[in-house]
């Protein structure tokens, strides 16, 4: 296999450790995800999917284990190196879009690029191109509040892809949409992922969507096993 885009090695994570309300969520979770591979993460509520995605996306740190993205060990890197890697290497999509309400669709996709050091003109060109590819050329200047749920989520995908990440992490990306919109929006996401050759780890409760990914994993007792 090519060098994995994401390698998680023996990830452990708990909350309130040593206290009576201690929860040990991850107990040695490991996975390799290759370039171009789309992996479903399915598990019951509370099993630790969001915890795992946050650790993989460098938003949280594990108690033990290693997180490697593109061959770089980032688990013990400085905050600055992790922030830079998160901006440049990882795209994140949530169940609720978390777009900035005061900014247009284009601006929501331009801002992360500016934060990553890209100039305004190319950032805007990329934003328009991405929005065109998800069928939103006619909604470029709309603010999130004036878009439908499916449109908002498509803008959120474009934002996640704005800095051409190597890894896409998604936490119930269509969980908030009706089944028909969910299917269409998922097709859009898969199209973009396939086109760019990104690796993706997508948490979903929807067995139909999970079945369309390359591989399915579940969290069982804090470790990742084939579903
Ligand atoms: N900050 C925290 N403090 C204490 N416990 C937490 C914290 N965050 C998560 N947990 C606990 O860790 C467990 C895993 O939570 P997590 O959000 O990762 O689950 P999940 O599989 O994503 O669930 P869902 O599908 O419902 O979103 C849960 O039992 C949760 O209560």
Summarised one tens digit per residue, pLDDT across range 53-108 is 999 999 999 999 999 999 999 988 999 999 999 988 999 998 888 899 999 999 99
* Cα–Cα distance, 82 to 178 (Å, whole number): 35
Section 48-52 average pLDDT = 95
* Cα–Cα distance, 199 to 135 (Å, whole number): 23
State the pLDDT at residue 97. Answer: 80
State the pLDDT at residue 176. Answer: 79
Instruction: Please work out whether the CB of residue 23 comes within 6 Å of at least one atom of ligand 1.
Output: yes
Q: Give the C-alpha distances (Å, rounded to integers) separating 20 from 16, 17, 23, 27, 214.
A: 8, 8, 9, 18, 40
Query: Domain range spanning residue 115?
Result: 34-63+75-226
The answer to whether residue 68 sits within a structural domain is no
pLDDT tens string 181-222: 888 888 888 888 888 889 999 999 889 999 999 999 999 999
* Cα–Cα distance, 219 to 31 (Å, whole number): 11
Q: What's the CATH number where 208 sits? A: 3.40.50.300
Residue among 23, 24, 62 whose CB has most ligand 1 atoms within 8 A, to mutate: 23
State the pLDDT at residue 1. Answer: 54
State the pLDDT at residue 195. Answer: 83
The yes-or-no verdict on residue 2 having pLDDT over 80 is no
Q: For the chain, what is the radius of gyration of the CA atoms?
A: 17
Section 31-42 average pLDDT = 95
Q: Whose CA is nearest to atom 1 of ligand 1?
A: 15
Our CA dihedral for 163, 165, 171, 175, rounded to 10 degrees, sits at 60
Q: Whose CA is nearest to atom 25 of ligand 1?
A: 45
What value does the mean pLDDT of the chain take? 92
State the pLDDT at residue 191. Answer: 84
Q: What is the three-state SS of the chain?
A: CCCCCEEEEEEEEEECCCCCCCEEEEEEEEEEECCCCEEEEECCCCCCHHHHHHHHCCCCCCCEEEEEECCEECCCCCHHHHHHHHHHHEEEECCCCCCCCCCCHHHHHHHHHHHCCCCHHHHHHHHHHHHHHCCCHHHCCCCHHHCCHHHHHHHHHHHHCCCCCCEEEEECCCCCCCHHHHHHHHHHHHHHHHHHCCEEEEECCCHHHHHCCCEEEEEECCEEEEC
The answer to whether residue 220 sits within a structural domain is yes
The answer to whether residue 12 sits within a structural domain is no
State the pLDDT at residue 196. Answer: 83
Instruction: Please work out whether the CB of residue 43 comes within 6 Å of at least one atom of ligand 1.
Output: yes
Q: Whose CA is nearest to atom 30 of ligand 1?
A: 46
State the pLDDT at residue 133. Answer: 86
Domain count, the chain: 1
The answer to whether residue 1 sits within a structural domain is no
Ligand 1 centroid – CA 226 distance (Å):
21
Instruction: Please work out whether the CB of residue 51 comes within 6 Å of at least one atom of ligand 1.
Output: yes
Ligand 1 centroid – CA 24 distance (Å):
10
Residue among 21, 25, 62, 218 whose CB has most ligand 1 atoms within 8 A, to mutate: 25
Instruction: Please work out whether the CB of residue 25 comes within 6 Å of at least one atom of ligand 1.
Output: yes
The answer to whether residue 139 sits within a structural domain is yes
The answer to whether residue 23 sits within a structural domain is no
The answer to whether residue 124 sits within a structural domain is yes
The answer to whether residue 110 sits within a structural domain is yes
The yes-or-no verdict on residue 35 having pLDDT over 80 is yes
State the pLDDT at residue 94. Answer: 87
Instruction: Please work out whether the CB of residue 49 comes within 6 Å of at least one atom of ligand 1.
Output: yes
To the nearest whole percent, how much of the chain has pLDDT over 70? 100
State the pLDDT at residue 177. Answer: 80
The yes-or-no verdict on residue 139 having pLDDT over 70 is yes
ipTM: 0.94
Ligand 1 centroid – CA 51 distance (Å):
6
């Amino acid at each position: 296999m090519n060098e994995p885009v994401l390698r998680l090695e023996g990830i452990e994570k708990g909350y309130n450790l040593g206290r009576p309300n201690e929860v040990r969520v991850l107990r040695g979770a490991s996975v390799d995800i290759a370039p171009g591979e789309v992996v479903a993460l399915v598990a019951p509520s509370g099993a630790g999917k969001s915890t795992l995605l946050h650790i993989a996306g460098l938003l949280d740190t594990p108690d033990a284990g290693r997180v490697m993205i593109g061959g770089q060990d980032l688990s013990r890197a400085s905050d600055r190196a992790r922030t830079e890697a998160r901006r440049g290497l990882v795209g994140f999509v949530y169940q609720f879009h978390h777009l900035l309400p005061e900014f247009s669709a284009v601006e929501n996709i331009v801002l992360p690029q500016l934060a990553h050091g890209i100039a305004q003109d190319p950032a805007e060109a990329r934003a328009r191109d991405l929005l065109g590819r998800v069928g939103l050329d006619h909604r470029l200047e709309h603010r999130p509040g004036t878009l439908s749920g499916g449109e908002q989520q498509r803008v959120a995908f474009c934002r996640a892809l704005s800095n051409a990440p190597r890894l896409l992490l998604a936490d119930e990306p269509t969980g908030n949409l009706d089944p028909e919109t969910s299917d269409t929006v998922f097709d859009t996401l898969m199209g973009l992922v396939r086109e760019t050759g990104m690796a993706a780890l997508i948490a979903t409760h929807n067995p139909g969507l999970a079945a369309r990914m390359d591989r399915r994993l579940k969290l069982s007792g804090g470790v990742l096993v084939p579903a």
